Amino acid sequence: MSSSKPKSSENFVYREFGNDNSAATQRPIPELPPQQQNLRVQATRAGRKGKTVTVISGFQAKPETLADLVKQLKTQCGTGGTVKDNEIEIQGEHKQKILEILIKLGYKAKISGG
Domain-wise residue ranges, the chain: 30-111
pLDDT tens track for 14-62:
666 666 555 555 666 678 888 888 999 999 998 888 899 999 999 998 9
Amino acid 34: pLDDT? 85
pLDDT > 90: what percent of the chain? 59
Q: Are strands 53-57 and 87-91 parallel, antiparallel or unpaired?
A: antiparallel
Give the helix/strand (H/E) hosting 108.
strand 108-111
pLDDT tens track for 60-69:
989 999 999 9
What's domain 30-111's architecture? 2-Layer Sandwich (3.30)
Amino acid 47: pLDDT? 84
pTM for the model stands at 0.73
CB count within 10 Å of CB 46 equals 6
Q: At 67, is the secondary structure helix, strand, or coil? A: helix
- 67 phi, psi to nearest 5 deg: -65, -40
Amino acid 42: pLDDT? 95
Stronger pLDDT, 8 or 62, i.e. the higher one: 62
